[in-house]
C-alpha cells in the first residue's frame, strides 16, 4: 500500500515507494491514468512522478479527505491491472562531449566533486568504467523510460531499462550551476534528463541533443499539436552522433525538416522483468524496422 499524505488543503500526495523502480513508476502511471479517466469534478492537476504522484483539487468542490479516500479505492483496482502500456519509442540523437556543455562545465568547476576532470570523467570513474568511451556506450546501449516530466517546461526525467546492478548512479553537482545550455543531456541520481530550456541545473552534463523538445511558439512541425514533446511512459533510445551530424540535424530542425524517428510499441513490465535484454532487443527491432 502506498503512503498517502496531504500537501496543504489543495493536494493529495501519494508515495508509491521510497525507492525508484519501474514497478513503482507503473503504479503511479496507472493510478494517474485512472484519476484522469474518472473525470472527478474539482480535480485540476494530475501529476505522475517517478515513484509517486500528486493530485491538485479545489477543496471548495471536493473535501480533501474524500479526495484521498477515492484515491485509496482506485489503488485497489490499479493493483489488479496488468502492467502493460501502449506507448512509443523515440530515437534521440546525442552529441556526447560537445563543446557547449564542456565550456559550461569548465565555468562551474568549483561547484563540482572533481574540479580537475570533466563530468563524464567523474561519472565514468565512480561507476567503474575503464574509459569515458565505455561509459558513453553504457549510457546509450539500453533504452530509457520517461518516468516523469517536470521541474521546468517539458523537461523529461529518464530511467534506464536495465537491471538495478547495471544502473548508472551519479550524484548531482555539489552546488547547482546558474547556467545549463538548452537541450543538455544530463544525469543526477539514477536519472538522465534533457534540459528543455537554458537555465539553472544541478545534473552532470554528458552531451547535447539538436532535437527541440519544447517550443512555446509551436513552429516545430512535430510540436504543432502541443509545445511539449515528451510524456511519462515514452521510451527513448539515445543515438550517439558527431559534430558533422549535429550540425546537419540542427540545420534540419531550423528548416522544419527534422522528424524524430518514432514507433508505436506495447510494453509489458512482466515480459521485461522476465527477459530485459530480449525485450530491449525487440524494442530496437521495432524502432529500426523499415
Positions touching other proteins (CB under 8 A) are: 5-11, 13, 15, 17-21, 32, 44-54, 56, 59-60, 63-65, 148-155, 157, 164, 169, 171-172, 188-191, 196-197, 199, 214, 216-217, 228, 231-232
Give me the sheet containing 52-57, strands edge to edge: 3-7, 11-15, 52-57, 43-48
Q: Is the dihedral of CA 161, 166, 172, 173 positive or negative?
A: negative
Nearer to other proteins, 8 or 128 (CB): 8
User: In 3D, which of 73, 40, 70 has the Cα closest to residue 57?
Assistant: 40
Minimum CB separation from other proteins for residue 49, in Å?
Answer: 5
**d(Cα 95, Cα 136) in Å, to the nearest integer?**
11
Minimum CB separation from other proteins for residue 6, in Å?
Answer: 5
Minimum CB separation from other proteins for residue 16, in Å?
Answer: 10
Nearer to other proteins, 18 or 130 (CB): 18
Nearer to other proteins, 27 or 50 (CB): 50
Nearer to other proteins, 59 or 240 (CB): 59
Q: Which residues pair with 188 in a beta bridge?
A: 191
**d(Cα 122, Cα 139) in Å, to the nearest integer?**
14
For residues 211 and 93, the answer to whether their CB atoms sit within 8 Å is yes
Minimum CB separation from other proteins for residue 146, in Å?
Answer: 11
**d(Cα 160, Cα 235) in Å, to the nearest integer?**
10
Nearer to other proteins, 231 or 282 (CB): 231
Minimum CB separation from other proteins for residue 122, in Å?
Answer: 15
Residue 170 class from Cβ within 10 Å (0-12 exposed, 13-18 middle, 19+ buried)? buried
Amino acid at each position: 500500500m502506498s503512503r498517502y499524505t496531504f500537501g496543504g488543503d489543495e493536494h493529495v500526495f501519494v508515495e508509491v515507494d521510497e525507492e525508484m523502480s519501474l514497478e513503482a513508476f507503473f503504479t503511479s502511471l496507472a493510478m494517474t491514468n485512472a484519476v484522469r479517466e474518472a473525470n472527478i469534478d474539482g480535480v485540476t492537476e494530475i501529476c505522475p512522478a517517478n515513484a509517486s504522484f500528486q493530485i491538485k483539487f479545489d477543496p471548495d468542490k471536493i473535501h480533501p479527505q474524500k479526495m484521498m479516500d477515492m484515491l485509496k479505492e482506485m489503488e485497489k483496482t490499479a493493483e489488479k491491472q496488468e502492467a502493460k502500456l501502449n506507448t512509443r519509442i523515440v530515437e534521440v540523437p546525442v552529441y556526447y562531449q560537445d563543446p557547449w556543455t564542456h565550456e559550461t562545465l569548465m565555468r562551474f568547476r568549483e561547484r563540482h566533486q572533481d574540479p580537475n576532470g570533466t563530468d563524464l570523467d567523474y561519472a565514468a570513474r565512480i561507476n567503474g568504467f575503464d574509459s569515458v568511451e565505455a561509459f558513453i556506450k553504457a549510457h546509450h546501449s539500453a533504452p530509457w523510460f520517461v518516468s516523469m516530466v517536470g521541474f521546468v517546461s517539458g523537461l523529461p526525467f529518464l530511467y534506464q531499462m536495465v537491471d538495478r546492478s547495471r544502473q548508472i548512479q551519479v550524484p548531482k553537482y555539489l552546488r547547482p550551476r546558474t547556467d545549463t545550455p538548452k537541450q543538455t543531456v544530463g544525469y543526477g541520481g539514477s536519472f538522465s534528463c534533457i534540459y528543455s530550456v537554458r537555465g539553472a541545473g544541478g545534473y552532470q552534463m554528458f552531451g547535447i541533443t539538436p532535437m527541440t523538445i519544447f517550443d512555446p511558439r509551436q513552429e516545430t512541425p512535430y510540436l504543432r499539436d502541443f509545445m511539449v514533446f515528451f510524456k511519462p511512459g515514452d521510451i527513448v533510445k539515445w543515438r550517439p552522433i558527431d559534430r558533422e551530424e549535429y550540425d546537419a540535424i540542427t540545420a534540419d530542425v531550423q528548416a522544419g525538416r527534422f522528424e524524430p524517428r518514432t514507433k508505436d510499441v506495447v510494453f509489458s513490465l512482466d515480459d521485461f522483468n522476465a527477459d530485459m535484454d530480449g525485450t530491449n532487443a525487440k524494442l530496437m527491432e521495432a524502432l529500426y524496422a523499415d
